[in-house]
Structure 1
Amino acid sequence: MSNANQSLTSAEITQLWTTYMNDAGLICQLEYFTAQTEDEAIKQAAMHGLELAQSHINKIEDIFNKEDYPIPYSFKLKEDVDVNAPRLFSDSYLLYYLHQGAQVAIQAHSVSLGLAGREDVYDLFSDCLQEQISFIKMVHDILQTKALYKAYPMLPTPESYDFVQNQSFLTGYFGERRPLTGTEINNLYGNYFRNALGSATLIGFSQVATNNDVRKYLVRGKEIAQKHCEIFGSVLHEDDLPASTRMEDSVTDSTTYTFSDKLMMYYSTGLIALSVGFYGNSMAMSPRRDLGVMYNRLLNEILKYAEDGANIMIKNGWMEEPPRALDRDELAKKKK
């Protein structure tokens, strides 16, 4: 694959740009966390994550500079974080944050790798993927050592294989519902955990936000996340299955400026985008019709929330425009 002189495709530019923005924001967060974390093992994991994010930034800048492609403004340590601010989250929160972030990064880098045609871009995302696989193992081991790992529910061992006998397998509106399948359980449990983590994140962010619109938006997001936890938990409890645990107690009472409103809005809208993907995937993988209806309703709610968040970012000049196609109509107007 010797084609480094080939121009970057739309897919490659988009994946590089998105990775750059995410890692620039992550650097601000991890600089703060490494300064505040007391547990040495967790601090070392955060420092390693910080090193990986910085190496990605450097490599992407090299590719963009060779292409004479503008470097995103993204986020800056001096503008978007106060690393000396009081502690906002517990060490256990950081560990869950790192573990969840590594899972998301593995998925993102896998997609980017599949879209990469140029050798240098392919090599970059191949390295990113391998690094994240090693990193998640590091974080996973710390979770296990500290007895903090959230295990998914157990399933009984069947006596033999079986086949679905009738269409009641798909129903769920009325009458007796069949037990949840393993895939449905995994999605419900995972979505509960992500909303629990998101709720804690938004509580902390709302406490340190300076813009009133941002503060109200974050509080509203916290309420949505908590409501979704209750919904997912209730479905699991119908089959006597456990839900994950809430994490609100992992947030301190600090109200001191920690992260910029711009960074917190970027991160919050990113969480929503991830939820849209997870809910859509869950809906596609849930044969029981009542679950599909449930996910569709929750999707509509967070899509509206996402739009409101985008409007706040645009209003305040915080939304950096992603790579896009030329506006041919606009070019024609300039010609006149």
Structure 2
Amino acid sequence: MWAAYMNDCALECKLQYFLAKVSDGEIQPLVQQALDLAQSHIIKLRDIFTNDNYPIPYGFKPSEDVDINAPKLYSDDYILRYLHQGAQIALEAYSISLSMAGRVDVFNYFSECVYEQSGFLKTVNTVLQSKGLYINMPYLPVPESYDFVKSQNFLTGYFGERRPLTGPEIINLFGNYQRNALGSATMIGFSQVAKNSDVRKFLMRGKEISQKHCEIFGSILHEDDVPAPAKMDDSVTDSTTYTFSDKLMMFYSTGLIALGVGFYGASMSMSPRRDLGATYNRLLNEILKYAEDGANIMIKNEWMEEPPRALDRDELAKKKK
């Protein structure tokens, strides 16, 4: 719930800016709907915190972390794809939270979020399809019948002939490519408007990592003549005017890294071919180091709000003495 509140506060800032800049008549109502959902979530979570005498996180505030009057930084197509991927990620996060909720009010809250987000995702999909922007997963031929793996060669991939990619492997490579493509465009825009030099260098490094990972995933797909999604770097304008606070951009960037860690780990578990597992492991180590560098920047600037944590029993014992 703490993480949900932080994410919705950050999302409110970004969506208010998108709402002020979007010009497409079909995309604008989607941004408004997403903003309405985020703001309603903030109110409901505050009520739950208040009823439990739990301190409300500081989070992010539109008055401090965004300038909606800044020039347009991202295209309308980027905004639509951002809403699409954001809805997918949110739906997964709400589903996990729902499965772990024990209290009735918390269960009901996340159940409502799942219902809202699934409806919103369906609407976004419809608009993407109407504009010809929906990216379908690669086509797989229909097998004649079921079959069983008969050789250890199914697992090999380092040397010699590699078997073709399986459906789950393709879906994960494809999805990780899409997320990195959005991440690259996001980092490009963020780096153009960042004030702090350390933040700017960090964001530019993130852009390079995202682009490199796209190339790696794309090359694996191309080996089996599977098309990779399109890049999105051209969806960023040339604006360099202050738009988002460095604190907000670092929160979003480190959040993208955390998502990458989760998706790469899940992809590794669903990729029996050994070379794919080794690739995901190598890329995981790279983004974990990048995440640590991001955390250090946030701590140095006092931007990292501390999440709830367990009691330090040893510290309590020392105080009693």
The alignment's TM-score, normalised by the length of structure 1, stands at: 0.95
Question: Which 5+ residue runs of structure 1 have no aligned equivalent?
Answer: 1-15
The alignment status of 1:144 with 2:133, answered yes or no, reads no
2:170 aligned partner:
185
3-state SS, counterpart of residue 281 of structure 1:
helix
Alignment of 1:177-216 (within 5 A): 177-216=162-201
Is 1:21 the equivalent of 2:6? yes
What is the rounded CA distance, in whole Å, between the counterparts of 1:147 and 1:334 in structure 2?
64
Q: Report the alpha carbon displacement of residue 160 of structure 1 after superposing the two structures with TM.
A: 1.7
The aligned runs of 1:127-276 (5 Å cut-off) are: 127-276=112-261
Question: Out of 65, 68, 73, which is 1:83 matched to?
Answer: 68
**Number of aligned pairs?**
321
Comparing 191-200 with 324-333, greater Cα deviation is found at 324-333
Amino acid of the residue matched to residue 177 of structure 1?
A: R
Partner of 1:9: none
1:64 corresponds in structure 2 to: 49
Q: How far apart are the structure 2 equivalents of 1:223 and 1:176?
A: 31
Please state whether the residue corresponding to 2:134 is helix, strand or coil: coil
Q: CA offsets per residue over residues 273-310 of structure 1, 9 Å max, x none?
A: 00000000000000000000000000000000000000
Partner of 2:268: 283
In 1, the alpha carbon distance for the partners of 2:45 and 2:145 equals 51
CA distance in 1, matches of 2:254, 2:318: 34
Paired residue for 1:74, among 59, 72, 79?
59
Percentage of identical aligned residues? 71
**What is the rounded CA distance, in whole Å, between the counterparts of 2:47 and 2:218 in structure 1?**
46
- CA distance in structure 1 between the partners assigned to 2:101 and 2:280 by the alignment: 32
Counterpart AA for 2:228: A
Name 1:5's counterpart in structure 2: none
- Taking the aligned partners of 1:115 and 1:285, their CA distance within structure 2 comes to 23
Query: Which secondary structure does the structure 2 equivalent of 1:41 belong to?
Result: coil
Cα offset, 1:333, TM superposition = 3.2
More displaced 10-residue stretch of structure 1: 158-167 or 89-98: 158-167
Partner of 2:27: 42
1:53 and 2:38 aligned:
yes
1:309 and 2:294 correspond: yes
Q: Read off the aligned partner of 1:313 and give its amino acid letter.
A: M
Could you list the per-position Cα deviations for residues 84-112 of structure 1 after superposition, in whole angstroms to 9, with x for gaps in the alignment? Answer: 11000000000000000000111111011
2:27 aligned counterpart, secondary structure:
helix
Pairwise CA distance, 1:330:
2.2
- What is aligned with 2:282? 297
Deviation, 1:235, is 0.3
Runs of 4+ in 1 over 6 A off after TM superposition: none
Q: Structure 2: how far apart are the matches of 1:84 and 1:219? A: 24
Rounded to whole Å, the distance in 1 between the matches of 2:280 and 2:156 is 15
Deviates more, 1:177-186 or 1:153-162: 153-162
Cα separation, 2, equivalents of 1:323 and 1:256: 35
Partner Cα distance (1:133, 1:207) in 2 = 33
Residue-by-residue CA offset, 1:240-271 (whole Å, 9 max, x unaligned):
01001110000000000000000000000000
Segments of 5+ residues of structure 2 without an aligned counterpart are none
Q: Aligned equivalents of 2:211 and 2:21: distance in 1?
A: 27
Report the TM-score when normalising by structure 2: 0.99
The letter for the 2-side match of 1:103 is Q
